[in-house]
Structure 1
Amino acid sequence: MTSKAPVIYLHFPNRCSSFGSPVLRCFAPSIPYRYASGLSRNDSRARDQPKKKKKQRTEFKNQSLRDALQFSLCDAMRYIRAFEVGRNPTSSKYDLAIRLRTAKNGPAVRNRLRLPHAVDTSLRICVICPPDSPAAAQARNAGATLVGEETVFDAVKAGRIEFDRCICHVDSAQKLNKAALGRILGPKGLMPSSKTGTITKDVTGAVKGFVGGSEYREKLGVIRCAVGQLGFTPEEMQRNVRAFVGEIKKDLALLSDRIGKDIHEVVLSSTNAPGFSLNGDFRSPTSPPTRDLAVL
């Protein structure tokens, strides 16, 4: 049995309360907490030892979809449009998030695709190539807003980055490396690279691929991409969603057999609306007519 700490009562007859009765004050001697609470020395040492660390997860955690509330594409668009009432149909976008079953330390999926219906056609594209070369003329005809070499390098070093995408011709790749723009363009995701297809001989094809194209990259097991504007019809959204999901499946099929990545969930949201998990159906029995979802 553990002995309790003794309590000492002191009586002060000269100090009385407002009712005239003596005041009793109790004091306890200063005893360490671990002994006062009834713990022995061995018990306290065992408690002071560091706890064993829990085994960390090797994969991203995904919730089960067995009891999840899922929607058809038309129903999800219906509710999202209710959240976007009064918004500019060209500024608000439909976003698609694809959640993967994947390991945390695996390689990230990254690519670019051209959707059947362009989502953003206002991209400013820069092409690094000799300004008087045939490639420069082809880039301007394809829709590039900034073309050149030294003028582009000087503008970037001065902090004037007046473009949203950057493409480099193969002949200008060496000059680009000497300019050492990686520290400036790299963190912004604008540095041309052969891996992403932004260093190429076919400048015209690259520019057209960016005009109306979309880029995506896996982050924390999720791939996000804008797949439509608020004014898109359900049929246009269906074609864009199918194209995006199909491209992701192709990327996953190209991975090594040792790397396991599968699609777990597809969620549709917008700029100001929450996410709605899709069940893969286009319409449900209670869905409104598609023509009503196309009216702004």
Structure 2
Amino acid sequence: MAHPRSLVAPWSRLAASSLARRHPETPRIALLPLQSLRTAATKSKDKDKKKRKPRNTFVQYDLKNADQFSLIDAMHYIRAFEVGRNPSSSKYEMHIRLRSLKNGPVIRNRLRLPHPVKTDVRICVIAPPDSKHAAEARAAGASLVGEEEVFNQVKEGVIEFDRCICHTESLQKLNKAGLGRVLGPKGLMPSVKTGTVVTNVGATVKNMTGGSEYREKLGVIRMAIGQLGFTPEEMQNNIKTFMEILKKDIAQMSDRISKEIHEVVLSSTNSPGFTLNGEYKGPDSIPPKELSGPF
């Protein structure tokens, strides 16, 4: 007769095999290949981002297929948009689009046009109130003249002027007043670099009232070039003077950065812009005399 221990071993093998059949092992999900695919996709995206460099120039459109107009034709269409308005209230505006870098230096200047554009510019002059400089400023058309009076108004937040110049004798008082935090962000703080700290106050005020200021912003220079009552000849003289001075400004900056004129657009206060082709009149243009009178 067999020993009981010899029978236990076969039964244990049968129990283990039956349990294995009843409860098969569940297959495990392979996560590694999926994770590797995800990391590969993210790596490819990162490579694409690295390849795309940020644009350092402004977007310029091709003008080959764009409609371009002569000065007479552009003025003709613009005046049609301004019918019924006072010729002295609306103004012609020039828009010069430049090919330039985004983070480069900008062009900024002031000029006096052959036919000044009358604007209601309020000028503040910081000078001793009882001095001859203050008298010259008032005679030239300054709206606000003084020192302590101006300082107190600015500190109280009352800024009722569009331009601010300072006489050299009052520069030290201006710096002590600490108005840079208020006037600086508004572009009204007088400084030697911008030519607003002067010795001849009267002449400077006259140039500001009859002069025009322009500054490049986002690759575009905008400036009022005339009033709607101007004749085509007056507009031509103003545009020619403006373009000559602007080209000189660009030539002076050629050592630091390259700037080129891409497009010249003429518009008005209530009209769209018309790209100019550089010609005074076209073959089908109306006579200039018809643009010289009232609407």
TM-score, normalising length from structure 2? Answer: 0.83
**C-alpha distance in 2, partners of 1:121/1:70?**
29
The alignment-based identity, stated in percent, is: 63
Partner of 2:272: 274
Root mean square deviation, CA, Å: 1.8
Matched, 1:71 2:69: yes
Letter in 2 for 1:69: D
Letter in 2 for 1:187: P
Partner of 1:47: 41
Letter in 2 for 1:46: A
Letter in 2 for 1:143: G
Task: Find the partner of 2:210 among 209, 212, 215.
Answer: 212
Task: Find the partner of 2:92 among 94, 114, 118.
Answer: 94
Aligned pairs (5 A) from 1:223-262: 223-262=221-260
Judging by fraction of residues, say which structure has more helix. 2
Judge which range, 139-148 or 101-110, deviates more: 139-148
Partner of 1:144: 142
How far off its partner does 1:47 sit?
2.8
Partner of 1:8: none
Letter in 1 for 2:204: A
Partner of 1:7: none
TM-score, normalising length from structure 1? Answer: 0.83
Letter in 1 for 2:139: N
How far off its partner does 1:295 sit?
2.1
Partner of 1:169: 167
How far off its partner does 1:285 sit?
1.2
**Deviations 1:18-54 (Å, cap 9, x if unpaired)?**
xxxxxxxxxxxxxxxxx9xxx9654444334434221
Q: Secondary structure at the match of 1:98?
A: strand
- CA 1:189/1:120 → structure 2, altered by over 3 Å: closer, same or farther? farther
Judging by fraction of residues, say which structure has more strand. 1
**C-alpha distance in 2, partners of 1:81/1:132?**
48
Matched, 1:184 2:182: yes
Q: Which of structures 1 and 2 has the bigger CA Rg?
A: 2
Letter in 1 for 2:123: I
**C-alpha distance in 2, partners of 1:199/1:130?**
14
**C-alpha distance in 2, partners of 1:294/1:43?**
73
Matched, 1:199 2:197: yes
Judge which range, 100-109 or 56-65, deviates more: 56-65
Q: Secondary structure at the match of 2:149?
A: helix
**Deviations 1:137-183 (Å, cap 9, x if unpaired)?**
11122221211101111111122222221110011111111111122
Q: Secondary structure at the match of 2:189?
A: coil
Aligned length: 259
**C-alpha distance in 2, partners of 1:90/1:186?**
32
**Deviations 1:254-286 (Å, cap 9, x if unpaired)?**
114241111111111111211111111111111
Alignment gaps of 5+ in structure 1 = 1-34
**C-alpha distance in 2, partners of 1:183/1:241?**
37
